[in-house]
Amino acid sequence: MHNKTLAQLSHALHAKEISSVELTQHFLNRISRFDEQLNSFITVTPERALEQARAADQRLQSGTAGFLTGIPLAQKDIFCTLGVKTSCGSKMLDNFISPYNATTVEKLDAAGMVMLGKTNMDEFAMGSSNETSFYGAVKNPWDLKAVPGGSSGGSAAAVAARLAPVATGTDTGGSIRQPAALCGITGIKPTYGRVSRYGMIAFASSLDQGGPMTRNAEDAAYLLKEMAGFDLRDSTSVDSPVPDYVASLNDSLEGLRIGLPKEFFSKDLNSEMAQTLETAIKELEKLGAIVKEVSLPNSHLAIPVYYVVAPAECSSNLSRFDGVRFGYRCENPKDLSDLYKRSRGEGFGSEVKRRIMIGTYALSAGYYDAYYLKAQQIRRLISEDYKKAFEEVDIIAAPTSPTPAFNLGEKTDDPVTMYLSDIYTIAVNLAGIPALSMPAGFINQRPVGLQLMGNYFSEAKLLNVAHRFQKETDWHLQTPNGF
């Protein structure tokens, strides 16, 4: 059962070939058997899962079930979940039991899905390798010596190893797409505002966006259809009708214009990576797509802009974690100042502290105009580049990551090299456009992802292109040895 797609599982449940309780227990058994070596879950919730599964079976029996009813999933541990620890991968929230549900959790619960547990992640979503988690690094199921990518590495590893059929993730600078690429699965970051951020613990509020992480584009379409939609509780949520992402999956690609940004396919791109992606793009050409070169002239500024904007927003968002109201509190503080300093000093990890300090500096008097304001101005230029490119093409294809998965510990002592892991994904978040990563091959037995970027609210087109590609290739069907 664990090798079936979401659509196949839904059919099996509705045909009474298997019950949700049996299916849920199957995945709980797999987590128990395999996750010790992967560390992809922070919290497993078997009692809650089986209770939800029993309720799903009643709906299936009574004929009131929806398409997703009874299907297990994993939630990234950044989504607040009523009565369940929501840690954000941090010591700071190790004791935090959420008193409410995030909108994403609420929507998927209402659809009848069954939560298996909460997946591991880089602390407060800050990282590209899932090595900054308070709960230890997640391992890549394709090679246990390799990272799974971050920050949604736990979700990516769990789906790749078939410990969950689908999972949720969040993407601030590539945190759905990069781990999806490194673990050989499909992940989509929707347009900013398409999925509610209510109850999603904030890292950088103008960049964060939730989305699905699945084995293929069809599964992503079904899950995104349920996750997307306007939410009054999120001031950045967009009040725009949600299309049926599944209905257009099989549309023809004849005449589709695909742009290849010359800045992304320069001589700096690893030759093996370039060749692998070139082969994947030729598959799209066989389906009728037309490929042409485009330019994103300001894309080289994405990394420095992001590492001013994101830390500045994280500095502001994380100021609420002070040891007073909730979360970690130091022992025996001498006074209020000592409480603040020690609680934050002991509760946050080194990467989070690094970004808070950078952000606080960028926002400080005398530097705001020089750094934060200037970064926002350049951000607008990056966004304009995409607008111009989409006047010439329908979608843009590019690498998701500059390399396949790197080894655990390889970049932990060099933050700048680690930051460059997101060189091809960050501009998308700065512009607020949707983007998807799908499996496109292997280099040295480690997966490679092809990234598709679209204009605002073009998720349906990205899923359509990925689905048609996956009907012609089998990269998304490959399973890591031993799982």
As a whole number, mean pLDDT of residues 303-309 equals 95
d(CA 206, CA 172): 9
Q: Answer whether residue 90 shows pLDDT above 90.
A: yes
d(CA 405, CA 150): 11
Residue 100 DSSP code: S
pTM of structure: 0.96
8 Å CB contact between 197 and 227: no
d(CA 144, CA 39): 11
Q: Is 391 exposed, middle or buried (0-12, 13-18, 19+ CB in 10 A)?
A: exposed
8 Å CB contact between 236 and 196: no
- The predicted-structure confidence for 426-459, as pLDDT tens digits, reads as follows 999 999 999 999 999 999 999 999 999 999 999 9
8 Å CB contact between 295 and 261: yes
pLDDT-derived band at 367, boundaries 50, 70, 90: confident
As a whole number, mean pLDDT of residues 33-53 equals 98
Q: Answer whether residue 477 shows pLDDT above 90.
A: yes
- The predicted-structure confidence for 150-163, as pLDDT tens digits, reads as follows 999 999 999 999 99
Return mean pLDDT, the chain: 96
d(CA 141, CA 386): 35
pLDDT-derived band at 16, boundaries 50, 70, 90: very high
For residue 137, what are the CA distances in angstroms to 31, 130, 232, 423?
Answer: 17, 6, 36, 22
As a whole number, mean pLDDT of residues 36-59 equals 98
Question: What is the dihedral sign for C-alpha 420, 421, 425, 426?
Answer: negative
Q: Answer whether residue 270 shows pLDDT above 90.
A: no
Residues 6+ apart with CB under 8 A from 271: none
Q: Answer whether residue 266 shows pLDDT above 90.
A: no
Question: Which residue carries 């979360």 as its tokens?
Answer: 327
- The predicted-structure confidence for 202-232, as pLDDT tens digits, reads as follows 999 999 999 999 999 999 999 999 999 999 9
Q: Answer whether residue 268 shows pLDDT above 90.
A: no
Strand bridging mode 290-294 / 257-261: parallel
- Considering only CA atoms, which of 220, 221, 76 is closest in space to residue 156? 76
> Count of residues for the chain?
483
Residues catalogued as catalytic: 76, 151, 175
Q: Answer whether residue 267 shows pLDDT above 90.
A: no
Q: Answer whether residue 366 shows pLDDT above 90.
A: no
Which of 75-79, 156-160, 270-274 comes out lowest in average pLDDT? 270-274
Q: Which CATH number fits domain 1-483: 3.90.1300.10, 3.90.1580.10, 3.40.50.10860, 2.40.50.140?
A: 3.90.1300.10
